[in-house]
Amino acid sequence: MNPTPQRGEARPTSPRLRPVSPVTPEIEEILGGSIKSVTGEHLRLFGTMAHHPKMLKRFLAFGGFFLNRGLLPAREREIVILRVAWNTGSVYEFGQHTVIGRNCGLRDDEIAALAGDPSRHDWSDRDRGLIAMTDEICADDCASEPTWKELRAEWSDAELCELVLLVGVYRMVAGFLNTMGVELDPNTPGWPD
């Protein structure tokens, strides 16, 4: 199951920019405690961003907030990220967050339902609201009024701010991954069957 990009051409089939190698001491220090692949290596995403060390450092601080210091429950955060990955056709993002999502309590049937038609799964109203918001922002850069009213009943003002920015941040990451042709890290899943 592989999404077809709604706009533009097909994704690159090989990296346009390979991860920095060898990793310099400066980059190693920046990457220090960052997320690693299942084989213990630095993620190819970060290795590719390492061509611009100052940007990488700031990206890790900003992106790390959403994964480690945000207000959102991890499971719900991963629903949003996986749906962004599907909507943007980012197999790398989907694969990484399949692993993270499983660790946060998402089941494989839920992950598979986020890749395609989410109505084939019996989501809670709360989860359906997150999926609708993500789809709407990805399609039109705005959540509809009915979806916003549903979210407003479930989430605090601070959580709503974080949810909307979460969609935007992962759309940005997907654009980087897709444009650079970043390859999946070893032993990382791609799209569900």
- According to DSSP, the residues that pair with 42 across neighbouring strands are 36
In the chain, ranges of CATH 1.20.1290.10 domains: 71-180
pLDDT tens column, 148-182: 999 999 999 999 999 999 999 999 999 999 999 99
Separation between Cα atoms, residue 89 and residue 83, nearest integer Å: 10
pLDDT tens column, 96-109: 999 999 999 999 99
- Assign a CATH topology to domain 71-180: AhpD-like (1.20.1290)
Residue pair 71/162 in contact by the 8 Å Cβ criterion:
yes
Region for residue 24 given its phi and psi (left: phi exceeds 0; alpha: psi -120 to 50; beta: otherwise): beta
pLDDT tens column, 129-138: 999 999 999 9
